[in-house]
Amino acid sequence: MKTDLKKKLSWLWENMEGCRILYIIGILGTVLYNALQLTVPYFSQKIIDLFLTGENAARNLIEKRELFYELVIAMVVLTIFRTTVVYLVCMDVEHVSQTMLYRIRNVLFRKIEHQDMNFYNTYRTGDLMTRVTGDLDAVRHMVAWVIRSVVEAFSLLLATAVYFLYMDWRLTLCMFGIAPFMLAVILKFRDKVAPRHRELREKLAQMNTAAQENISGNRVVKAFAREDYEIQKFDECNRDYSETNKKTSKTWLIYFPYVETFANLMPVLLLAVGGLFIINKQITMGEYVAFSSLIWAIQNPMRMLGNIMNEFQRFSASADKVMEIYYSEPKIVDKEDAVDLPGRFAGKVEFRNVSFKYEDGKLPVLHNISFVAKPGETVAIMGETGCGKTSLIHLIPRFYEPTEGEVLIDGVNVADMKLAQLRKNIGLATQDVLLYSDTIDGNIAYGDSHLSQKEVVKFAKYSAAAQFISKMPEGYETIIGERGVGLSGGQKQRISLARALAVKPAILILDDTTSAVDMETEKQIQHSLNELDFPCTKIIIAQRISTTKFADKILVIQDGRITESGTHEELIAKKGYYYSLVALQTGEEV
């Protein structure tokens, strides 16, 4: 997404809400301290003309000594005042930029949190991280430095121009004659450097992604002894980034000599033309000194323009990326006329001719799926890997929307429900277990932070986790995850099951949740699932016959289609796929 500069600046302005006045004060302060820069040459000019080189210099020094002291003191006082203004402006602008950054960062995080699954499939973690760190810093830099530098450059140029014109307009015109050439060079540079910054930003995101994937996937790297390969891969990303950085800097080096030549021509011009003016008595010596002591006020802004342009392009590339997330909207949201269902659901789940295709996928994953799970029933879903089981259950909490057909709960299409109400009624233990770096207690009570300790223990018992938890060094207070105690696959699954149960859902969805636990523990879990002290419809994906055997209904999915459905006995009698599975798992003909 490429947004024009005006839009980006108004976006900054929008996010400065609450500190806009402070920012304007900062900008006015910038103008003020730049205008104050001119006071020193002004006073020097007066001192030189009156007390050093003028016709009556010697007499003035005796007769107007007071004035001399006054001029010197005024110079000192104004310098101190100017320094104070600079200090206050820096503090003020820093405050504004940090407040704005804090606000944008929170909005970005909120946006990312509310996104659909599709969003997470599209964006790489490293890229998202780059947006909320490096890119945001470029945005901050724009507010804290670039905009101020532009104001500084222009106010300095303008103030100098006015002062020069006041002294002698002809000499001023000669000095500013160089400006158009300089501007042409800078504009050419801008066109060259803009694509470089976009490239630079992309390379940084690539490098961050490589680092992030390696850190989180370090075990795999180690298991396959691929450290050298990964180091080399990272080195390539790093070199790519570094080379692009160098290329970007070199772009400026091509233009730099032109800018410098024009800038350095100014003193030469002043010497030649100014000298002539003095000889012709068109300007005084003091005025000449004022001109020459202020020539930097024209040179510097012109030199700075290159850098400013560079920063503008960096901001532009980064703001595109940040604003893309800032203005992104999830597609799956509450409908305006969504049905309000504040109470607990009865738990009837119905699929009506549901077909589904991933947005980025080529082929449909589910075809014409229809089934009903009555309140309190257990429906088991079986099928070989990749047949569409996870995709199917993800349609219930509306992580994705069916391409055709409807998913209904208690007779209401999930698309017509409020997302928060729908999801509050669902307890989901996902196939890839993710636990937080928190205590076991905190992980189990994740969906309901008011859960009492007693209840946490109860749910841990339901999921057959209580036993191993009590053996942990600090029991339920043991920190697990990245910075704590490691857990086995089966232990993680059991905590994830306890977490899903702890919200006392009307619909419990388990995606292969007992695949890593032993048969004995699985039996215990099954037993407790039947003994839950709240009504609950269970949809269980499983590979083992021992899990599916007691379900009220078993659905066999093959290539995204339900090919068999019925109870254990019915399916065995059918002598189809389920029957062959039973034979395979029990090792005997049934």
Placement of tokens 């205008």 in the chain: 35
Among candidate residues 86, 75, 84, the one with its CA nearest the CA of residue 30: 86
Q: Which of 321, 389 has the CB closer to ligand GTP? A: 389
Considering the complex, what minimum distance in angstroms separates the CB of residue 331 from ligand GTP? 15
Find the Cα–Cα–Cα–Cα dihedral 155, 161, 165, 170, rounded to 10°.
-170
- Yes or no: say if 382 and 547 are a contact pair by the CB < 8 Å rule: no
Among candidate residues 581, 204, 129, the one with its CA nearest the CA of residue 380: 581
How is residue 424 written in tokens?
């509050």
Q: Which of 198, 394 has the CB closer to ligand GTP? A: 394
Residue 248, interface with Mg ion (CB under 5 A)? Answer: no
Q: Which of 228, 360 has the CB closer to ligand GTP? A: 360
Question: What does the alpha-carbon distance between residue 590 and residue 582 come to, in Å, rounded to a whole number?
Answer: 8
* Measured distance between the N- and C-terminal CA atoms of the chain, rounded to whole angstroms: 61
* DSSP code for 328: -
Residue 391 binds what, of Mg ion, ligand GTP, none (CB under 5 to 8 Å, by partner type)? ligand GTP
Residue 207 binds what, of Mg ion, ligand GTP, none (CB under 5 to 8 Å, by partner type)? none
Considering the complex, what minimum distance in angstroms separates the CB of residue 410 from ligand GTP? 25
**Which position's Cβ is nearest Mg ion?**
390
Considering the complex, what minimum distance in angstroms separates the CB of residue 509 from ligand GTP? 12
Q: Which of 302, 556 has the CB closer to ligand GTP? A: 556
Near Mg ion by CB under 5 A, which window of 89-97, 165-173, 428-436, 465-473?
428-436
Considering the complex, what minimum distance in angstroms separates the CB of residue 370 from ligand GTP? 18
Q: By rule CB under 5 A, what string of x and - marks binding of each residue 140-179 to Mg ion?
A: ----------------------------------------
- Yes or no: say if 561 and 367 are a contact pair by the CB < 8 Å rule: yes
Q: Which of 98, 403 has the CB closer to ligand GTP? A: 403
Q: Which of 309, 396 has the CB closer to ligand GTP? A: 396
- Yes or no: say if 166 and 159 are a contact pair by the CB < 8 Å rule: no
Chain residues binding ligand GTP by CB under 6 A are 121, 358, 360-361, 365, 383, 385-391, 431
Residue 390, interface with Mg ion (CB under 5 A)? Answer: yes
- Three-point CA angle 382, 384, 387, nearest 5°: 90
- Listed in sequence order, the residues at least 6 apart from 390 whose beta carbon sits closer than 8 Å to its beta carbon are 431, 511, 541
| Chain Cα centroid distance, residue 339 | 33
Let me know if 380 is exposed, middle or buried by CB neighbors in 10 A (0-12, 13-18, 19+): buried
Q: Which of 97, 209 has the CB closer to ligand GTP? A: 209
Considering the complex, what minimum distance in angstroms separates the CB of residue 407 from ligand GTP? 15
Residue 358 binds what, of Mg ion, ligand GTP, none (CB under 5 to 8 Å, by partner type)? ligand GTP
Sort strands 349-356 and 404-409 into parallel, antiparallel or unpaired. antiparallel
- Yes or no: say if 443 and 487 are a contact pair by the CB < 8 Å rule: no
Tell me which amino acid residue 317 is: A
- Listed in sequence order, the residues at least 6 apart from 295 whose beta carbon sits closer than 8 Å to its beta carbon are 175, 266, 267, 270
Q: Which of 245, 543 has the CB closer to ligand GTP? A: 543
* DSSP code for 432: S
Residue 513, interface with Mg ion (CB under 5 A)? Answer: no
Residue 176 binds what, of ligand GTP, Mg ion, none (CB under 5 to 8 Å, by partner type)? none
Residue 140 binds what, of ligand GTP, Mg ion, none (CB under 5 to 8 Å, by partner type)? none
Considering the complex, what minimum distance in angstroms separates the CB of residue 314 from ligand GTP? 34
Considering the complex, what minimum distance in angstroms separates the CB of residue 541 from ligand GTP? 7
Considering the complex, what minimum distance in angstroms separates the CB of residue 518 from Mg ion? 21
Let me know if 166 is exposed, middle or buried by CB neighbors in 10 A (0-12, 13-18, 19+): exposed
Considering the complex, what minimum distance in angstroms separates the CB of residue 428 from Mg ion? 13
Tell me which amino acid residue 563 is: T
Considering the complex, what minimum distance in angstroms separates the CB of residue 539 from ligand GTP? 13
Q: Which of 346, 516 has the CB closer to ligand GTP? A: 516
Q: Which of 390, 496 has the CB closer to Mg ion? A: 390
**Which chain residues interact with Mg ion by CB under 5 A?**
390, 431
